[in-house]
Each structure stands twice: as structure tokens, then as C-alpha cells.
Structure 1
Amino acid sequence: MIGIIGSGVMGMSHVATLTGLGGAKVVAVSDPDAVRVAQAAALAGGAKVLSPEALIADPSVDAVIVVSPDAKHAEQVLACLAAGKPVLCEKPLATSLADGAAILRADAGRGLVQVGYMRRFDPDYVDLKQHLQAGGAGDPLLIRMIHRNATAPAFMVGTQGITNSMVHEFDILRWLIGEEILRIRVQTPRAAKQGGLIDPLLAVAETASGILVEMENSGNVRYGYDIRTEILGSAGALMMAARPATRRQTAAGEVISHPADFTQRFADAYRIQFQDWIAALAAGKTKGAGSNAWDGYVAMAVAEAGVAALQSGDWADVSLPTQF
């Protein structure tokens, strides 16, 4: 029995996905917006509408999914840990490294926290990693990653292109190559402020073995949601396959559609992530195979370095503590 905190675009998408899966039921939802939360409850087939605190404490709720605004994540994850309940928290894990460290301390030895970096479950990324591990391109030398949104959400301002969006690249990069990011540099082109959001962003990161990684994050490209990754290695190159799309040829030219947003592009990834998480909990485990609290903390640490690099115009080292 699952409770979901947050019924915005992602929360509603999660309710719809979970309702279509077997093995779990959404029994409680929470959101300060009365209209949205009523819609989420109806979509779940009559779930209870509760406050976040009541939802976490409710004995009928076995596990919690946190899809609230970023600033609420740490508080709600810590409440889940205090209640001893497994929690899948959407990224970022928290908005400060101090709060991330508090979660790590509270979760130590229990492993109740999973962070919603769903790309680890995406079939295209899984296939790319398998080819990389098989040596199809030799040793990776350069990696290019593109993350483009048609329109940035209204809540995104300032450096959230790094802390809320580019964190996906930080996590999936570590998962792909099995290395830490040592330093990062982030820049933005001229006249690039869109509604308070610093956008687009171009980052270059260096990993422990010296791989250079270029990451583009663009929030307002208009034409659709566009995700790409290419790996240049010592013996060839790997390019993540694009999702099939209908090619339309008209008198005006040829048109290829892109997904409208992340809920379309990563629908399979979310479904597989939830299937894995639900199966793991049913088997008596505390979390699924996805990112853990440490992974969430590391993505935050890289993001903090990225913000510092953007502000300084220079490289910033990624600092990871050895103990908390």
C-alpha cells in the first residue's frame, strides 16, 4: 500500500502509472492544492486525502513516494525514516548538503531510501551501458550528453537548471561509467535568462580516470523533449538510440516528432522503476535496484560544485566526505 506526497505533473503521472501496475495500490495522496489532490485521489480509485504528516503516519501506508517541491524533500524523507517506512524520493534528495547528510545518517544501516533517478531503468540507457561494458567502443574518452526541455516549468529559477535538472546527467554518468566526477565547469551563453532561470547551460566535467564529459542542459528549446548521449572511445563510438518517431513528409518539408515531455520519453523507465521497487519491497527488501541515498547525495555535491563553477567562471572541485 503506497502513499504519494505531491500531485503535480509528475505526481499525477506516478499515480496513473502505479494504478496500471499489479502488486501495489495507491491508498493515500497529499497535496496543498485541493483540486489537484482530489483528481489524484479519484485517479487512484478513491485514495484517502491526507496531510503529508498524516500520510506518513497512516498504518495503511507501507511505503511512500515523495513528489513534493524540492524544499520539502528532506523533511518528508526524514519523517519516513523516523516512521521506519521505505521511501522513493524524486530528485533532488534535498536542497542542501547538510540535509543530505542528515538523511544519510538517519538511513545508515537500513537502506530505506531510493532516489528517483529513473534513467537507470530506461531501456535505451541500459542497452548503451551493456554495449559500453562489452567493450564495443574501447575505453571511453569523451562523452556528450544533451538534455533539452520544450519549456521549463514555471517553478524553475536561478541555478535550478543544475540542481533540479542537470542532476540527472550527474547520476546517469556515474552509473554508466562507474566513476566519480572530480571537477566541473559550467557556463551559459549571452542573454540567456529565461523567466528567471539561467538557461541554457553548458558543463564540462572530468571523471576519476580522466574522461571528459560535455553536458548541455536547455529548458526552453520549444520543439520538444530531447535526450541524447554519445560516447567516443578508443576503438569506436556509441550513440544511444533515438526513440522511434513517425516521419511526416509534406509540401512544407519533413517533420520528425519529439516527445512532449519527460513523462512521455521516460514512461517505460518510470514503469520499470516502480515494478522493480514494488517487487523488492514485496520480497522483504528495503529498496529496489535504483539510486540510494548516497547516490542522491553525490548528485547534490556535483550540483553544488556546478553552481560554484557557474558563479566563478572557473573549474570547481567536487568534495565528497568520507564520513558523516
Structure 2
Amino acid sequence: MTQRSRTLSVAVIGAGKMGADHVRRIDEVISGARVAAVADVDAERAKAVAARVDGCTAHTDPAAAMAAADVDAVLIASPGPAHEAALLTALEHDLPVLCEKPLTPDPASALRVMAAEQRLGRRRVQVGFMRRYDAEYLKLKALLETGQLGRPLMLHNRHRNVASPPGWTSEMLINDSVTHEMDVTRWLLGHEITAVTVLAPTPSGNAPDGIRDPQFVVFETDGGAIVDVEIFVNCGFGYQVQAEVVCERGTARVGDGHAMVTNAAGRWGGIIAQDYIERFTDAYDRQVQSWVDATRRGEVTGPGVWDGYAVAAVCEASVRALEDGGRVPVDLVDRPALYA
């Protein structure tokens, strides 16, 4: 669809926390789009979310939602293992897609999606690495691109959650959380990650049994930078995402949350967000609006299938480093011309 005056009709796949929030976002916050269909394996949940939007149909089969009347774009917010099938179906119908991270859970499935998109001969998929749309990260990226601080030498990241969801494993700290820092590293520095080392202290007493939390992840890049990530998903006090770039002639840091500091009753301080939706609401809004605007122009912008594949490859190496110890190289296929 290329007519800018026409409203984009979107099928949302997945009606859990993230999918339901995207339905709200499209219906109430952004412009130029409407939710035409919702799909979820839980029929009652799909019906409940679809009922909030006039004219929205509910489905249990993603393919049926994509085939619903007037659907001309897809937003995938289902669990990662279900992404490949939904993506391949969308590509079979030549539908533009915004897919929440991960693109797919592993490099092999990501390569299958890449092959399907290459057969179309044009990009159709954007991956939901929403930090690229956060105001603070955008300022940091713009500053680095000026070159005034010189070459980036190191990047320090902290990623903390109040508590891990039920059923989490040690590997999920990497596959479900550090994935964001993997993409941020590649985007901010313009480098590919070439090797990973994962260190883990004695687990916090707040971590559920069997979970190695926190972890300290170290990336090496093809641009000669060293990157570290502290991932701590049971810190207990709030949700924090921070990044500091150390360059040849200065440093720059984001994520300190100093929008407002109060002084009262003998104390000073601010508020710490309690989850990712609260911290990154504006970024999600900008991301979806940008995707809708680009799709209505007949374009695909933002992180794509190559970015999703590269992160999946870093995840695979990181899990090996966590399980086996030591430094693990990251192996990437040659980058296809479509993603140059």
C-alpha cells in the first residue's frame, strides 16, 4: 500500500502484554493506522483485546488474521518461537511487518526468514529494537556521528529489572534482555560484534533457584571497541537502562533518569521506572508511528532482518560462553546486497 491518504489496516499477532499495548497504541496514540484483526492462541484473550476496537476481528490462527478483510500490514508480538511461521506467512502475502524482538530465536531460523525476504527482492520486515527510537539514545547516536568525541573505545551498559518473570532461565537473561544491548552496540558504534565472553558472580540471594543472575557480558567488535553489559534482572528496586560511551576525546552517558529531581523532607531524588513499558513508552510510540508512516509511503526503514539475524548469532555465541566459559567467536554469513 502506497497511498498516504489511506489508513493502514494492521493485523496484530499476539494479544499478551506487548500485543495488547500495541493495539492500544495504534487505536489511541498514533495516527494513520487502525487495528483490523487480532490473533492469539488464547481465543478468549484475542476476543477481549479485539473487542476494544470497533470493527476488529479476533482469530486464533495468525494466517487467518493476515487474510482478514482489508489487512495490509502485520505487527507480530507473539512469543519468539512463533515468529518464524508468522513472518514466513506474511512474506508469502508480501505484507509489510513490524516484528517484536527477537526476529527468531536462533540464527538458522533467521536465515530462513532472510532467504524468504530475499526471494521477494525487497525489504518487508522491520524488527522491534525500540531503543533506536528513544530520545536519549537518539541524542547519543547523533553526538557520536559528529565525530567530535573521537573514536569510540568502550561502551558500558547497565540493564536492571525489578524481578524476573516466572519460568525464566539463565539463558533468557541473554536471549530476552541483553539482545537490546547487542543491537544498541551495533547501531551506536556501527560495528559488528565478533566475540563474546560471559562472566557470572555468585548469584544474588534475590534470584530464583537455578538462575545465574546477575551476569557480566563482554563484546568485542570489528571496529576495535570493547563493550560490557551488566544484566541484573532481580535487582529489586526498579527498571534501569543506562549506557556510557568512552571515546578518545570525551564520554557521553544516557539513562540516568534525571528528568526531575525533588528535594523534600530531608531527602533528594527522583523516580525509578518499574518496567520496560513505563521506561520506553515514548520510544515504542515513535517506533510504531515511524513504521506506519514508512509503510504508507511504500518504504521499509529501521532495523531489519539482517539486524535480527546478527543479534541471533550473538545470542547463540553468548549462551555458549555462559554454559562453557571462555571467549566465543561470533560467526556471521556474508551480508547480502539487499541489506547493504
Q: Please tell me the TM-score bracket, short chain as reference.
A: over 0.9
Q: TM-score, normalised by structure 2?
A: 0.89
The reply to whether residue 70 of structure 1 matches residue 80 of structure 2 is yes
CA contact 2:258–2:270 (8 Å) conserved in 1: no
Equivalent residue in structure 2 for 1:132, among 140, 144, 152 = 144
Distance 1:264 1:323, change over 3 A: closer
Distance 1:125 1:225 in 2: 17
Name 2:156's counterpart in structure 1.
144
The reply to whether residue 112 of structure 1 matches residue 121 of structure 2 is no
Equivalent residue in structure 2 for 1:259, among 251, 273, 278 = 273
The reply to whether residue 90 of structure 1 matches residue 104 of structure 2 is no
Equivalent residue in structure 2 for 1:189, among 201, 222, 242 = 201
CA contact 1:7–1:67 (8 Å) conserved in 2: yes
Distance 1:207 1:187 in 2: 18
Note the alpha carbon deviations across 1:53-78, whole angstroms, 9 max, x for none.
20122242111111111110111111
More moved, 117-126 vs 255-264: 255-264
Note the alpha carbon deviations across 1:267-323, whole angstroms, 9 max, x for none.
1111111111111111122x2x21100100000001111011111210000000127
Read off the aligned partner of 2:79 and give its amino acid letter: P
Task: Quote how far apart the aligned CAs of 1:241 are.
Answer: 5.0
Distance 2:101 2:209 in 1: 22
Distance 1:38 1:296 in 2: 30
Aligned ranges 1:26-41 → 2 under 5 Å: 26-41=35-50
Tell me, which stretches of 5 or more residues in structure 2 are unaligned? 1-8
Distance 1:11 1:281 in 2: 19
CA contact 2:43–2:59 (8 Å) conserved in 1: no
Q: Secondary structure at the match of 2:273?
A: coil
Note the alpha carbon deviations across 1:232-253, whole angstroms, 9 max, x for none.
1111111115334544555574
Identity, % of aligned positions:
37
Distance 1:35 1:297, change over 3 A: same
Aligned ranges 1:1-324 → 2 under 5 Å: 1-19=9-27, 20-51=29-60, 52-108=62-118, 109-192=121-204, 194=208, 196-249=210-263, 251=265, 253-285=267-299, 287=300, 289-322=301-334
Distance 2:316 2:232 in 1: 19
Q: TM-score, normalised by structure 1?
A: 0.94
Distance 1:158 1:277, change over 3 A: same
Read off the aligned partner of 2:46 and give its amino acid letter: V
Distance 1:311 1:25 in 2: 44
Q: Secondary structure at the match of 1:25?
A: strand
Distance 1:205 1:277, change over 3 A: same
Task: Quote how far apart the aligned CAs of 1:209 are.
Answer: 2.1
Name 2:6's counterpart in structure 1.
none
Q: Secondary structure at the match of 2:322?
A: helix
Tell me, which stretches of 5 or more residues in structure 1 are unaligned? none
Task: Quote how far apart the aligned CAs of 1:164 are.
Answer: 1.5
Distance 1:164 1:102 in 2: 21
Q: Secondary structure at the match of 1:194?
A: coil
Distance 1:241 1:312, change over 3 A: closer
Note the alpha carbon deviations across 1:76-120, whole angstroms, 9 max, x for none.
111111121111111111112211110000001221111100111
Task: Quote how far apart the aligned CAs of 1:134 are.
Answer: 1.6
Distance 2:275 2:85 in 1: 28
Distance 1:143 1:152 in 2: 25
